[in-house]
């Protein structure tokens, strides 16, 4: 059991409003390649109660029911622990959520998104708690999924983070990734229906779609807190693409430098990131990267579209006391100058060794190396979900048919 001690959740459980007993909420999942969709689910779950406990499955359990995870269980535990709405993490949580688990951790109910999670034999993992009335549902975040992110990494296209243009190759991928090679007529109907529940005839849970940012979503993720007297304002900048454990380790180290930190993260524009990273980076667009960083408990504020060079104007505007950078290479600005020359001149620049070697490049390499395994995993996942949908449709149609037969 891992208790958190930073950020919004705080890690200490007190009574609920009006002195009533605290409402304890349970969430569980794989949390592989943690993205802002996962964070949004946990944000919604935390809002339903006073204390949020998150169970994370082991590598062995995930491999059994879904296929190999991208990240190790230790990496996944730490990523979930870094989300500011999480009070406690339970490692090695069982894949099937039972009343016994809820009772063990004194949870009133569990929360899951409005998609479906199935066991290796196609059973709903939340069936028992649903029947007992101890299940709540939250809205799934449209426009992001692990499937989508894997697809972006597998396809070398620069258009994947633009809502204006999408390569024909990526569009073809978006229409077919995870689609089982052999479909029964009923499953084929599910693909081709194109109903409001299944946009473009796809499985509503597994697929690729475009994320649309709104001001409301940023407000929901932002803390809204201004720097307070006595706090040390620390500025960090970068792409923070595919927000991962390497970023978390770095931000945790930065957060721990002083007693009362106020960490501001500057996120570069997509074009800027592509200029210094090249290839098909960034994998996630600026709006997606903004939500990912805002969800981190070690970050107080985000500058959306920060300048590449840390200028005197920026330092003065935010009253920055300290500027930190990791051990990754500092790429010169377009004019060949050092982007950190101003904070260095002021004597407020600090390089931090996070102790983690993980980079966005290495994550992409993991995916590409195991491409066939991940494609097979997503095909298997979607096939199970479609079979479950088909069974639900048959169940819903059955009483109707029975009543018709009675006349």
Say if CB 244 and CB 273 are below 8 A apart: no
Residue pointed to by tokens 């998150």: 54
pLDDT confidence of residue 398:
67
CA distances from 176 to 165, 218, 243 (A): 18, 31, 26
Under DSSP, is residue 365 helix (H, G, I), strand (E, B) or coil?
Answer: helix
Phi, psi of 262 (to 5 degrees): -130, 100
Residues in the chain: 407
Strands (DSSP E) contained in 333-400 are 349-351
pLDDT confidence of residue 181:
34
Under DSSP, is residue 366 helix (H, G, I), strand (E, B) or coil?
Answer: helix
Residue pointed to by tokens 């009253």: 319
What is the arrangement of strands in the sheet containing 232-238, beginning at the earlier edge strand?
A: 301-304, 261-267, 232-238, 322-325, 349-351
pLDDT confidence of residue 119:
67
pLDDT confidence of residue 203:
46
Residue pointed to by tokens 């949870």: 107
Q: 237: exposed, middle or buried (C-beta count within 10 Å: 0-12, 13-18, 19+)?
A: buried
pTM score above 0.75: yes
pLDDT confidence of residue 176:
43
Residue pointed to by tokens 């060949």: 336
pLDDT confidence of residue 183:
32
| Beta-bridge mates of residue 264 | 235, 301
DSSP letter at 40 equals H
Closest CA to 300 of 367, 210, 236: 236
d(CA 137, CA 147): 22
Closest CA to 240 of 339, 333, 306: 306
Tens of each residue's pLDDT in the chain, 407 residues: 444 444 455 455 677 777 789 999 999 999 988 999 999 999 999 999 999 999 999 999 988 887 788 899 999 999 999 999 999 999 999 999 999 999 999 999 999 987 767 666 678 889 999 999 999 999 888 777 777 787 788 774 445 554 444 445 444 444 443 333 333 232 233 333 333 334 344 444 444 445 667 888 899 999 889 999 999 999 999 999 999 999 999 999 999 999 999 999 999 999 999 999 988 899 999 999 999 999 999 999 999 999 999 999 999 999 999 999 999 999 999 999 999 999 999 999 999 999 999 999 999 888 887 777 767 666 766 666 677 667 667 767 765 544 444 33
DSSP letter at 178 equals T
pLDDT confidence of residue 198:
41
Pairing of strands 88-91, 2-3: antiparallel
For the chain, the first-to-last Cα distance in angstroms comes to: 59
Say if CB 278 and CB 108 are below 8 A apart: no
User: What secondary structure does DSSP assign to 185-202, as a single string?
Assistant: HHHHHHHH---SSSGGGS
């Amino acid at each position: 059991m891992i208790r958190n001690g930073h950020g919004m959740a705080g890690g200490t459980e007190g009574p609920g409003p009006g002195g009533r007993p605290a409402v304890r909420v349970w969430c569980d999942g794989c949390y592989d390649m943690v993205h802002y969709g996962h964070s949004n689910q946990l944000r919604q779950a935390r809002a339903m109660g006073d204390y949020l406990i998150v169970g994370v499955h082991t590598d062995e359990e995930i491999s059994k029911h879904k296929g190999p995870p991208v990240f190790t269980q230790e990496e996944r535990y730490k990523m979930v622990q870094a989300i500011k709405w999480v009070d406690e993490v339970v490692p090695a949580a069982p894949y099937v959520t039972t009343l016994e688990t809820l009772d063990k951790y004194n949870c009133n109910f569990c929360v899951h998104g409005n998609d479906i999670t199935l066991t290796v034999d196609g059973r709903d993992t939340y069936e028992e708690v649903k029947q007992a009335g101890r299940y709540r549902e939250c809205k799934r975040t449209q426009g992001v999924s692990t499937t989508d992110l894997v697809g972006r990494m597998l396809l070398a296209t620069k258009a994947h983070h633009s809502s204006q243009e999408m390569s024909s190759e990526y569009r073809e991928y978006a229409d077919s990734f995870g689609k089982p090679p052999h479909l029964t007529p009923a499953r084929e109907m599910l693909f081709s229906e194109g109903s409001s529940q299944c946009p473009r005839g796809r499985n509503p849970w597994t697929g690729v779609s475009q994320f649309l940012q709104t001001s409301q979503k940023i407000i929901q993720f932002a803390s809204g807190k201004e720097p307070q007297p006595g706090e040390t304002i620390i500025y960090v900048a970068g792409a923070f693409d595919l927000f991962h454990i390497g970023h978390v380790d770095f931000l945790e180290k930065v957060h721990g430098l002083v007693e009362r930190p106020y960490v501001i993260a500057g996120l570069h524009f997509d074009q800027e990131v592509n200029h210094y990273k090249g290839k098909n980076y960034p994998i996630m667009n600026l709006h997606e990267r903004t939500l990912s960083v805002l969800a981190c408990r070690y970050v107080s504020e985000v500058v959306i579209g920060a300048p590449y060079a840390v200028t005197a104007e920026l330092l003065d505007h935010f009253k920055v006391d300290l500027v930190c950078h990791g051990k990754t290479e500092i790429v010169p600005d377009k004019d060949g100058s050092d982007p950190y020359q101003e904070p260095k001149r002021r004597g407020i620049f600090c390089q931090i060794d996070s102790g983690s070697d993980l980079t966005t490049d290495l994550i992409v390499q993991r995916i590409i190396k195991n491409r066939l395994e991940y494609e097979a995993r997503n095909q298997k996942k979607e096939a199970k979900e479609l079979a479950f949908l088909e069974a639900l449709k048959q169940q819903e149609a059955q009483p109707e048919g029975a009543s018709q037969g009675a006349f």
